[in-house]
Amino acid sequence: MPQTALFPSMLGSECSGQVPVDMRERSVDLIFQDGSLVSGSLEALIERLVPTLDYYPDRTYIFTFLLTTRIFIHPSELLARVGQICLKQKQQLEMGPEMDKVKLKLFSAKIVQLLREWTETFPCDFEDRVARKELKEIVWKICHCDEILGSRFHTAVQIIALIICSLEYAKKSILCLSEKGTLLKVKSQSTHKDILSVCSDALVFAQQLTHIELEKIRNIQPEDVIHLCIQTGNIPNHKCCDSKKTQNVEAYENWFNQLSTLVATEICRVVKKKQRTRIVEFFIDVARECFNIGNFNSLMAIISGMNLSPVARLKKTWSKVKTAKFDILEHYMDPSSNFCNYRTALQGAAQRSRTAHTNCEKIVIPVYSLFVKDIYFLNKMHSDTLPNGHINFKKYWEISRQISDFMIWRAVECPFEISKRIQNYLLTAPIYTEEALYIASFESEGPENHREKDSLKTLRISCINGNR
């Protein structure tokens, strides 16, 4: 990702997308409102991406356009169009009264810079063989000039090497934390350690959860979010990349479910009520520490696990729990009014992150499912194109702004000391299936009515048949 913040709004000022007047006059197919680009034809938007001698697109535009234009045109085809415009501009420079070597060198340097930003920000675009070929052709055709062959050749070699490095990074990102706890179909009598014997410090436990969260979201690329959230069926002849979930996104979604189930498993598998109460209170403390850190995804997963029916029905256990802290946390995760309380807390964490001086204060891990939901509905609420055929770029400014926020949050280095012992337990501890959770729950606190007795009987029969 670029080294500076993509959107000025991240630093407290308004994201305007403003451009110099001369750039606005380059095409009548670009529409501005209060100095901000709001719409344009695909051709005009592509032209705006390509630098000229006296113009270079700002990073917010580069990020937004390269991120969202894949809905309308495949990256390799876009690269070919960019190459055509570049070559046309170069030929015009060469056909002038006198070929200005300085101008030609400046122009080629700007093109190389654009390609460098593209490969750094969206390396997966160049996994496609056609895209790699187009990129190499642009580099050689634009940079090849006998008078400056030495320096341009060096730059060309650098940019091609960068492609390889970017692709290697993209491949490595797929090798994310993929450990998964063993799925137990029945209540196990194994002697594996319980959570408190591994770690009894709620703050340390929350810090290890934060390590795992940041490592997993760091592997999610901006284009992954676009592919998941934006449905392109209403766009005629669209050429969007494959919108299947990536391995990294699936791993992150599975992690949420794994953590929720682990919480429920640790509570339900304990036979003694006193110990079970201690574990419930421990997870409440962990959830509170996650909230204080800004790790809302783990917070939501823990609360979800404690609200699963096999845990929620343990009335005798809950009667011994001091629930005041849990009630406050549930208040923040209350789904009413579109998770209004959570969004207020998230805004507070984001504000703290913007003005932070340490990585501890910079941590913001949103609830991923709600983040994706927001992008999805933002896309659904606004049309992709306007009646005049223009792309509704104002819509994509907002989508990209939210994704940019997520990308900046995911780049924060976790400042906490790593405990491989705790992380290994979190990632590999046995977890129960839904049926096993109910059986464990009923065995910890017996059925209270005929419906629960019938459910337990059915579950036992199912387990017996399943083991045959």
Residues in the chain: 468
Separation between Cα atoms, residue 307 and residue 288, nearest integer Å: 16
Mean pLDDT of 178-191: 54
Residue-wise pLDDT tens digits, 439-460? 999 989 988 888 888 888 888 7
**Which of 433, 430, 438 has its CA nearest to residue 314?**
438
Residue-wise pLDDT tens digits, 79-135? 999 999 998 988 888 776 665 777 888 888 899 889 989 988 888 888 888 888 888
> pTM of the full predicted structure?
0.83
For 367, residues 6+ apart whose C-beta sits below 8 A from its C-beta are: 296, 297, 300, 339, 342
The angle that helices 202-217 and 296-306 make with each other, rounded to 10 degrees, is: 120
For 175, residues 6+ apart whose C-beta sits below 8 A from its C-beta are: none
Contact (CB, 8 A) for 263 and 287: no
**Which of 255, 217, 227, 253 has its CA nearest to residue 405?**
217
β pairing state of 431-432 and 36-40: unpaired
For 132, residues 6+ apart whose C-beta sits below 8 A from its C-beta are: 126, 163
Task: State the pLDDT confidence band at 16, using cuts at 50, 70 and 90.
Answer: very low
Tell me, what's the pLDDT at 98?
Answer: 60
Half-sphere exposure of 31 (CA within 13 A, CB side): 13
Residue-wise pLDDT tens digits, 158-175? 666 665 565 555 555 444
Mean pLDDT of 147-163: 53
Classified as helix, coil or strand, 272 is coil
Residue-wise pLDDT tens digits, 298-354? 999 999 999 999 999 999 999 999 989 999 999 999 999 999 999 999 999 999 999
Give the domain ranges of the chain. 30-174, 195-230+245-466
Residue-wise pLDDT tens digits, 197-218? 999 999 999 999 999 999 999 9
C-alpha distances in angstroms, 306 versus 180, 219, 264?
A: 20, 28, 6
Percent of the chain having pLDDT more than 90? 50
Q: 30-174: what fold?
A: Son of sevenless (SoS) protein; Chain S, domain 1 (1.20.870)
**Which of 201, 167, 130, 431 has its CA nearest to residue 310?**
431
Tell me, what's the pLDDT at 317?
Answer: 94
Q: 195-230+245-466: what fold?
A: Son of Sevenless (SoS) protein; Chain S, domain 2 (1.10.840)
Tell me, what's the pLDDT at 457?
Answer: 83
Tell me, what's the pLDDT at 20?
Answer: 45
Is the fold of 30-174 the same as that of 195-230+245-466? no
